[in-house]
A and B are shown apart, each in its own frame.
Chain A
Amino acid sequence: MSETASMSAELAPLLPEILLLLGAVAALLAGSFLPRERQWVARIIAVTALVAAGVATGVGLAGSDSAVFDGTFAADVSTGVARAIVIGATLLVISMGTEELSGQTRESETYALLLLGALGAIVVAGADDLLVLVAGFLLASIPLYALVGMSRTAAGAEAAMKTYLLGALLGILLLAGVTLLSAVAGSSRYVDMADGLGGVAGGLVAVGGVLVVGGLMFKAGGVPGHFWVPDAAQGAGGTAAAFVTTVPKIGALVAVYRIVDALPDDARLRLLTAVIAALSMTLGNLAAFFQQDPRRLLGWSTVSQVGYLLVPVAAAGRSELALPSLLVYLAGYAVSNVTAFAVTTALPGHRSLADYRGLAAARPWLAASLLVSLLSLVGTPPTAVFLGKLTTFTAGWDGGLQWLVLVAVLNSVASLFYYLRWIIPTVQPVSGKATSHAHTAGPWAAGTAILGAALVLVIGIGAGLVLGAA
C-alpha cells in the first residue's frame, strides 16, 4: 500500500508527460475506428491532451523543484519551461496543420506522432541521467523519421532516409558516449558525474562528452548533425517541417546545457560547444544565402539559430544569465520559427521566394505575420528573439566568450540579407508584366501565423518581466 502511495507521489510531477502519452494512445486508437471524414475527433483528443498537459505544467511551475525516480529526471524550472514551450509549439503546429492534415489518410497517426515527439523532447530536456537521456532520444527520434516521411513525395522519402541514417549514426555515437561516461564515472546520474569523473584522465571524459554532445546535435539540428534539416524542411509537409525544426531542438538544447554544466571543467565541453555554436551559425547562414525555396531557406536558418542558442550553453555555470537566457531564446525561437512555417503552410503553392510578390497588398495580415517572424529571427527589437539575443549575448560576454559574441553579431548582420530576400518581394507591388500569384491562404494556417506573430511581440515586450524568475 505504502509502495503504491510513494509511486503515485513520484508520478505526480510527471503528470504532463503521462497526459501526453495517454493522448497519443487515445488519438491512435480513435483513428483506427473513425471513418476518414471524422478523423477530426483525433485532433480534438490531441489538443485536449496538450491543453491538459499545459495546465499541469503551469501548476508544476508554481510548485517547487523536485527530482523523481531516484534523481534520474529533474522536474525543475528548466523542465517546466521546456514543457511549456514544447506544448505551446505543438499546439500551434496542430492548429496550422488543420487544412493540410484534415481528411488525409494518416491524420490521426500524425497527431499521435506529434504527441510522442513532444513527449520525447520533454524527456530529453528533463533527463538527469544518461540512460534516461538515451530513452528520450529514441522516443523523440522515431516519430521524427515517420513525420518527415509522411508526405510520401520523392523529396519526402529522401529526407526521411537522410534523417533516419543520420539519426541512427549519431544515436550510436550518443550511446557510445553514454557507455563510456557511465563506465568511467561508475554512475549514469548527472549529479555523480563531477565527483565520479574528478580523478579520471581528462581525455577520456572529453571523448565521452564530445560523443554525447555530438549525438544530441542531431536532435538540435546543429553542426555536425544538421544535414537532414534543410531536406526535411523542404521535403516534408509544412506541419511536419515546422514541428521537426522546432520541438526536438528545445529538448536537445536543454539537455546539452545540463550535460555541459554537469561534467567537470577539464572535459573542455564549453569550448567544444562554443566551437559548434560558431560553426552552426556560420554554416547555416552561408548555406541559406541564395536559397530560392522558402522552406529550405528556413531550414538552413534553423541551423544558424542553433548556433546562437548554443552561446548561453557554452557559458553554462559561468554567468547567472546563461540558463534564463537560453530558455527565453528557446521560447522566442520556437514561436518565431513556427510562425514563419505557418505562413508557408498557409500558402502551400508558394515554393519560390518570387511567388510572395504582392502578398502585402493582397493579404496584409499574413504578410505582417511573415515580416514579424522573420525580423524576429534576425533579432530586431522588440521581438521575442531580440530578447533572446540580447540576453544570450550578454551571458556569453559575461561568461568570457567575447569572441563568440562577436561571431554571433557578425552572423546576425549576414542573416539579415537572406531574410530580406524574402521580405522584399512580399512588400513589393506586383509589376505590370509579372503574373500575380493567387494568394489564397488556408484560414487556420493564416490564423495561426497571425496568432504566432502576436505572441512573438508579446514575448518580446513582456517576457523580460518574468525572466528573472527562471
Chain B
Amino acid sequence: MLTVLIFLPLLAAGVLAVLRIPDRAAKVGWLAVSVVELVLLLVIWIGYRTPPPGGMALAQQVPWIPGVASSYSVGVDGLSLPLIALTVVVFAACAVFAWRDRHRPRTQAALFCFLESMCLGVFAAQDLVLFFVFFDLTIVGMYFVILGWGHGHAGRSALKFFLYTFLGSLVLLLGFIGLYVAADPHTFEMAELTRQAPLQGSGWVGGVVLAAVVIGLAIKTPTVPFHTWLPPAHTDAPAIGSAVLAGVMLKLGTYGFVRIAMPMLPEAWQAWSGVIIAVGIVSVLYGALVALAQTNVKRTIAYTSVNHMGYVILAVGAAGVLTGNATSRQVAVTGAVTQMVSHGLITAALFLLAGVLHDRRGSYELEDYGGLAKPAPRFAGFFAVAAFASLGIPAFSGFIAEFQIFTGSIGAAAVTALALPGILIVAALFLRALQQLLTGDVRGKSHGFADLRTSETVAVAPLLLLSLIIGVLPRFLLDIIEPAARVVVDLVSR
C-alpha cells in the first residue's frame, strides 16, 4: 500500500516522459494521479493505528544491498504520516494550479510526478541508504524544475541550489557512513541504528558524526548560516516549483532531525543542544529581519521560511535539554512537527499566490502594485488570509504550532524566549506587505489585474482550508503526532 503510494507517481512520470501524448491529456493524467494519491492517503490515514515504540505501521522490507546491510525498508509513524499527507496535498494543489500552464506541460507534469515520488520516499524510508537515494534525487528533480521553468537568472540560481544542496547531501552521506561503521553489526537500518545508538559514549567521534548529519540537514532546511541558496532559488523558480520547494522539500531537512539525528545520536545531541538552540534563535530573528527589508514578494516569503524553520530548529534543540521536564520537551517536538505541516500548507499557498502576480504582470516587486483589492478581490482575500495564517494568528495551524513550540521550548530552556520577537517582526512585515499590495489607490501594474481563475482558486483554497481546520480542530492531527513525539523525546534522553 505504502509502496504503491510512493511509486505510483514515478510510474506516471515514466509514462508521461516517454509517451508523446497531447498536453491536455498529460495535465489530465497528472490530475488523475494526484486524485488517486489523495484517495490512497485517505485510506492509509483512516487505517492508521499508532505503532508500538520502535515499530512502524505499514512496514515493508525487502533486501537490497545485503553487502552493507541495506534494504528497501519503508513504514510510517506519527512523524512521517503527517508529512506524507502534506506532500500529497501540496503536489495535488500544484497539479491543479498548473492547469493553465502552456510551457512544456507534459515534461513539467512528468518532472513533478517524479519529485512527488522522491519526496514521499524520503518520508517513508526506514533505511539510511534509501533515505539518501530519495533525498538526493529530490535535489536533481528540483534543479531541472528551476532550470527548465524558472525565470530571471534561473540558470545561475539553479546551479547555486544544486551545488549547495548537493554538498549538503554528501556531507549527510558522510554522517550516515559514520553511523554505519560505528554500528555493530554494521547496518544502515534505521530501526537498528536507533536501538543501538552506536556512538553513545564515544566522545568527540559522536560529535563529528552529528556535525556531519546536522550540517547536511541544516543546508537543506535551511538554517542560518547555510540559507544563502534559498532566496535566489525561490525568486527564479516557477510558482509551483517554489510551492514544492518551500512546502515540502524544506521539511526533508527538519524531518531528518527528528528521524535520524535525535534518535540515533542522543548523547551528542544533548551535548550540542545549546548550539542547535542558538542556531534556531538566530534563524528566527535573522530570517524575520531580512524578510522585513525585502521589496520583492517572493524573497520576503522565502526569508519568512528561514524564520519559520528556525522555530522548528529551536524546538528540537530544546528537546535535547535534559534539565527541562519531559512533558515540555514533548510539547516542543509536537509543535515542531505541527509547524512543518502548517508551514508547508501556508507557504505553498503564499508562493502559488505570488506566482499569480508574476503570471499577470511579470513582477514580484511590492512597489509595482497597490490597491489590488479593487481589481482582484478574490486574490486579495486569499492573500490576506494566507498572510495572517503565516504570521500565526489564532484559528490557523501556525498558531497551534508556534504556541506549542514556545510553551514547550521555554519550559525546557528559558533562553528560547529570545526568539519571541520573531513573531512580532513577521507580523509587522506581513501587515506592511498587505497594505502595500492590496490597499490604497489602484496604481502601477494593478490596473486591469485579472482576478484568480478557477484553477488557481481551487488550488489555493484547500491549502488554507486545511490550515484553518488544523487551527480549529487540531486533535485529528495531534493524536497522531503526540505519541511519536513522546518516543522521540524518550530516545533522545538516553
Contact = CB atoms under 8 A, between A and B. Distances in A.
Interface of A: 321, 324, 375, 380-382, 386-387, 390-391, 393-394, 397-398, 405-406, 409, 412-413, 416-417, 420, 424, 427-428, 464-465, 467-468, 470
A409 B66 contact: no
Contacts of A405: 174, 177
A427 B148 contact: yes
B357 interface: no
A470 B68 CA distance: 12
Contacts of A467: 65-68
A412 B173 CA distance: 12
B132 interface: yes
Contacts of A464: 64-68, 70
A406 B174 contact: yes
A375 to B, nearest CB: 7
B177 A394 contact: yes
Given A380-B140, A409-B170, A416 B163 contact: yes
B172 to A, nearest CB: 10
B162 interface: yes
Contact of A390 (B147, B166, B173, B186): B173
A465 B147 contact: no
A307 to B, nearest CB: 15
Contacts of B129: 390
Contacts of A375: 140
Most A C-beta atoms less than 10 A away, residue of B159, B173, B180: B173
B237 to A, nearest CB: 16
A381 B132 contact: yes
Most interface-central of A324, A393, A420 (chain B CB within 10 A): A420
A386 B180 CA distance: 17
10 contacts: A375-B140, A382-B133, A390-B129, A393-B174, A394-B180, A394-B181, A397-B174, A397-B178, A405-B177, A420-B162
Interface in B172-188: 173-174, 177-178, 180-181, 186
Contacts of B173: 390, 393, 409
A428 B158 CA distance: 13
Contacts of A416: 162-163, 166
A380 B143 CA distance: 13
A51 to B, nearest CB: 29
Contacts of B155: 424
Given A394-B68, A467-B66, 11 more contacts: A390-B129, A397-B177, A409-B171, A409-B173, A413-B170, A416-B163, A420-B159, A427-B147, A428-B147, A464-B65, A464-B70
A391 B166 contact: no
Contacts of B65: 387, 464-465, 467
Contacts of A465: 63-66
B26 to A, nearest CB: 15
A416 B140 CA distance: 11
B366 interface: no
Given A381-B137, A382-B133, A406-B174, A413 B166 contact: yes
Contacts of A420: 159, 162
B67 A391 contact: yes
A420 B162 CA distance: 10
B68 A390 contact: yes
A83 B159 CA distance: 39
B144 interface: yes
Nearest to B164: A413
Given A427-B147, A468-B66, A409 B166 contact: no
B68 A412 contact: no
B11 interface: no
Nearest to B66: A468
A416 B143 CA distance: 12
Interface in B138-162: 140, 144, 147-148, 155, 159, 162
Nearest to B137: A381
B170 A391 contact: no
Given A380-B137, A382-B133, A394-B177, A427 B66 contact: no
B487 to A, nearest CB: 29
A413 B64 contact: no
A470 B67 CA distance: 9
B38 interface: no
Contacts of A321: 67-68
